[in-house]
Structure 1
Amino acid sequence: MEESEESEELSEVEEESEELSEVEEESEELSEVKEEREEPSEVEEESEELSEVEEEHHVKPGEKPLSRSKTKKTFLKKRGAKKFCTQCGNSFTRKDGLERHMRVHTGEKPFSCDQCGKRFSCKLNLAHHMRIHTGEKPFTCDQCGKTFFWASNLKEHLRVHTKEKPHSCSVCGKRFSLRQTLHRHEKIHTGVREYMCFECEKTFITADKLKRHESIHTGEKPYMCSHCDKRFTRSENLKTHERIHTGEKPYKCSHCDKRFSQLANLKTHEMIHTGGKPFKCNKCGKDFSQSSYLKRHMMIHTGEKPFSCDQCGKTFLRASDLKSHLRVHTKEKPHSCSVCGKSFSQLQTLHTHEKFSHCCERVHVL
């Protein structure tokens, strides 16, 4: 049973590692949305329009050029009164600025991607979106060489190197480099699960968790390992898995130089040095080093036993307990006594047998 529980804990660590990858992906998606909402500033619009006026009054041979002040007066005359949005009252210096803004209210998206059909309200946002298809990542980290689609992603990534964590949880004090990571973490304390699967009505804390769960119903696993043909629902999971074959361990402990293939495993390991247990049970006050351990512990208070035997209906707190129980039905006995050869379905039962049945033989041998 101890071996099964250890295996289950490693699976939970892998799951936390996936969450870290999802946070980075979510960060890029949020940045894309943020850039979609941005519009050229008033200063940029004014500068552009002033340049247009200068072009219209380009000096011809034999003519005296307009002074900058006269050009500015011509620009102001052309510019006229500010235009106001009838929906929200925002003001604009240019007609096309107001027209572009009105798309926020009308939902109009006249610019379409010829690769995937996604539509945008602004041509600049379409140009930014095209980087997803071309793979262009113009923003490079000068510390590790990693590239990004957006400048905002690079700025957030740099906190990995600076160790800056400006966002802290008001409940447990844990700090985060990204605001959206903090918001995701806070849901552990509130218990809010706003995303529901329409197939089985199971609820989830994040949209990514729901999306990953839905692949159970669809059976879709588009990412295949080139070494062993194992398939995965997410590219991040495949990348992590392939380190088993390559032996790559990119994450190094700053305390003892031990290396890990997953960031979540490193963070868990470092708590041995720091003694950190940031996840507290709000029922009994017990502290845990991982959110998955707290989640499993909470089932003791709620009485939840999510793992059910399809043979007799008995329910269990852990998947490892159900796996052990199923041997009652299958008659499987994988654990054998080294002294008499008797087999047992449970490792703990074998230990009990050896302790009481062969204690004398062991003493005699010694």
Structure 2
Amino acid sequence: MMLKNEEEKHHHVKTEEETRSKTEGISLLKRRDKKCFTCRQCGKSFASKQNLKVHMRIHTGEKPSTCDQCGKSFTYKQNLKVHMRIHTGEKPFTCVQCGKSFTHKQSLKIHMMIHTGENPFTCVQCGKRFTRKQNLEDHMRIHTGEKPFKCDQCGKSFTHKHSLNVHMMIHTGEKPFTCVQCGKSFTHKQSLEDHMRIHTGENPFTCDQCGKSFKQQGILKEHMNIHTREKLHGCDQCGKTFLRASGLKSHLRIHSKEKPHSCSLCGKSFSHLQNFKKHQKIHTGERVHVCFECGKSFITAGDLNLHQRIHNGEKPYKCSHCDKRFSHLGGQKTHERIHTGEKPYKCSHCDKRFSQTGGLKIHERIHTGEKPYKCTECGKSFTHSSPLQSHTKNNHSK
């Protein structure tokens, strides 16, 4: 009797397994039958003709869903729906940790890694870690030197597409970010944010060595070199060293005599873009940087910062040979040449050398015969200003 029961039980289990196997087989066949619409381009199969039709847009490049706000087109309706959030300002995905909202779910997912500290993508060259795979790929171009994004106007190449987009504004003249206080426009959003601190007086970046505060992080980084005195970039022509690679690049134009930036109004040329921009403001008369102490206005923020040292008495640059201090780095460097005897500026006509560029310019007028200082009374010309002042005093003063 027991043996019979066991046989019946075994037969029942076997029947269940066979039934399950048949059901799964039928289900699989049904699923296969459902995917009966196949793409002739790539072989991918779809359950409905509509899905295949939508898929074909990848091959044809068709983008039937168009934004009525900006005209941008999309392959899929869902992509248009997500895009519309840019215009509506809708940000449906909110971080539960800090309350920050995002347009895309993926952006929230990436943001959450800030809170978790997760950086899953590691550079095999230097060990630096990244939150996103794309950031790692962009970073790798530092090691490879690859610059795949090229400007079709001037041929300059860039590591990142965003950098190319920003660069293109130089050619188009586009400055989409405008200051609501004074109307000045900027190419970069960050430049506008930095500029706004002129109006607010905000200095959010503070040096942990001396407590001095700055409007921009870049200026703080430059300032920190005063404390570290680290100069990693050396000129192979004269041995002069620089805190930054950009400083060395600018310096090399002294040797090459290159002046790529030319003023269209007066024809004057400049080695450095910053000097060229500063010069252009002479023609426009633009002085947006105002001293809160005395109301005096300046062409550049740098000139204002230097001027403010008159009011605060600050002298951050100390001579490395004696205790004398200076409000300007240039003053410190010039002074230190008294101790070192260094004369880096050589006359292009003879072997005489000078510790300052001003001395070199005055000297070279002996060779060129240039006399730029002219008496307004009698027309007599002089090599430099001092003889003109003496001449005016002795001959034309009442």
TM-score (norm 2): 0.54
Which residue is 1:22 aligned to?
none
Q: Distance in 1 between matches of 2:142 and 2:180?
A: 36
Mapping for residues 185-264 of structure 1, pairs under 5 Å: 185-264=195-274
The CA deviation string for residues 221-242 of structure 1, in whole angstroms up to 9 with x for no partner, is 1111121111111111110000
Secondary structure of the corresponding residue to residue 161 of structure 1: helix
Q: Which has the larger radius of gyration?
A: 2
Q: Counterpart in 1 of 2:49?
A: 68
8 A Cα contact 1:172 1:279, kept in partner? no
Between the aligned partners of 2:228 and 2:325, the Cα distance in structure 1 is 26
Q: CA deviation at 1:142?
A: 1.0
Distance 1:98 1:57, change over 3 A: farther
2:127 is aligned to 117
| Residue number in structure 2 paired with 1:144 | 154
Q: Quote the residue 1:281 is aligned against.
A: 291
In the other structure, the counterpart of 2:343 is none
Higher mean C-alpha displacement, 197-206 vs 105-114: 197-206
CA distance in 2, matches of 1:87, 1:142: 45
Farther-moved stretch of structure 1 (255-264 vs 121-130): 121-130
CA contact (8 A) 1:223 1:231 kept: yes
CA distance in 2, matches of 1:101, 1:195: 24
Contact 1:251 1:260 (8 Å CA) reproduced? yes
- 1:174 touches 1:278 (CA, 8 Å); kept in 2? no
- With 175-184 and 269-278 compared, the bigger mean Cα shift is at 269-278
CA distance in structure 1 between the aligned counterparts of 2:103 and 2:307, rounded to whole angstroms: 57
Match among 169, 188, 208 for residue 179 of structure 2: 169
The reply to whether residue 127 of structure 1 matches residue 137 of structure 2 is yes
Contact 2:110–2:131, Cα closer than 8 Å, also in 1: yes
In structure 2, which of residues 276, 284, 291 is the aligned counterpart of residue 266 of structure 1?
A: 276
Which digits, 9 at most, give the CA deviation of each residue in 1:240-286, with x for residues without a partner?
Answer: 00000001111111212221111122122222322222223344443
Give the whole-Å Cα distance in 2 for the aligned partners of 1:292 and 1:259.
Answer: 21
What is the deviation of 1:70?
7.1
Query: Could you give the per-residue CA deviations for residues 259-317 of structure 1, whole angstroms, max 9, x where no partner exists?
Result: 11111221222223222222233444433222233334444555656678999999886
1:191-246 deviation digits (Å, cap 9, x = unpaired): 32222333333332222222222223333211111211111111111100000000
Alignment correspondent of 1:157: 167
- Could you say if the C-alpha distance between residues 303 and 150 of structure 1 is closer, same or farther in structure 2, counting changes exceeding 3 Å? same
Aligned to 2:192, the other structure's residue is in SS state helix
Q: Which amino acid aligns with 1:145?
A: G
Equivalent position of 1:9 in the other structure: none
Moved more, 189-198 or 115-124: 189-198
Superposed displacement of residue 325, structure 1: 11
Q: Which whole-Å deviations, capped at 9, do the CAs of 1:72-115 have from their partners, x for residues lacking one? A: 9xxxxxxxxxxx99947999999x99976753542212221101
Q: Which residue of 2 aligns with 1:184?
A: 194
- Which secondary structure state, in structure 2, belongs to the residue aligned with residue 182 of structure 1? helix
Number of equivalenced pairs? 273
| Mapped pair 1:293 → 2:303 | yes
Query: Residue 41 of structure 1 corresponds to which residue in structure 2?
Result: none
Tell me the distance in 1 between the aligned counterparts of 2:269 and 2:282. Answer: 14
Q: 1:177 to 1:123 in 2, by over 3 A?
A: closer
* Matched-pair contact (CA < 8 Å) for 1:110–1:121: yes
SS at match of 2:286: coil
**Distance across 1 between alignment mates of 2:301 and 2:217:** 18
Taking the aligned partners of 1:303 and 1:134, their CA distance within structure 2 comes to 48
Whichever residue aligns with residue 211 of structure 1, its letter is: K
CA distance in 1, matches of 2:102, 2:293: 53
Query: Corresponding residue for 2:85?
Result: none
Q: In 1, distance between residues paired with 2:141 and 2:327?
A: 46
CA–CA distance in structure 2, aligned partners of residues 271 and 287 of structure 1? 13
CA distance in 2, matches of 1:321, 1:123: 48
Name the TM-score, length of structure 1 as normaliser. Answer: 0.59
Q: Contact 1:251–1:266 at 8 Å: present in 2 too?
A: yes
Bigger shift: residues 114-123 or 244-253: 114-123
Contact 2:226 2:317 (C-alpha < 8 Å) held by counterparts: no
Give unmatched runs, 5+ long, in structure 1. Answer: 1-52, 73-83, 327-333, 336-349
Letter in 2 for 1:133: H
Q: Deviations over 1:149-202 (max 9, x none)?
A: 222211111111122222223333322111111212222333322223333333
Match of 2:116 among 106, 119, 123: 106
User: Could you say what the CA RMSD is over the residues aligned between the two structures, in angstroms?
Assistant: 4.8
Q: 1:212 and 1:286, CA in 2 relative to 1: closer, same or farther beyond 3 A? A: closer
Note the alpha carbon deviations across 1:53-83, whole angstroms, 9 max, x for none: 99x9697xxxx985434779xxxxxxxxxxx
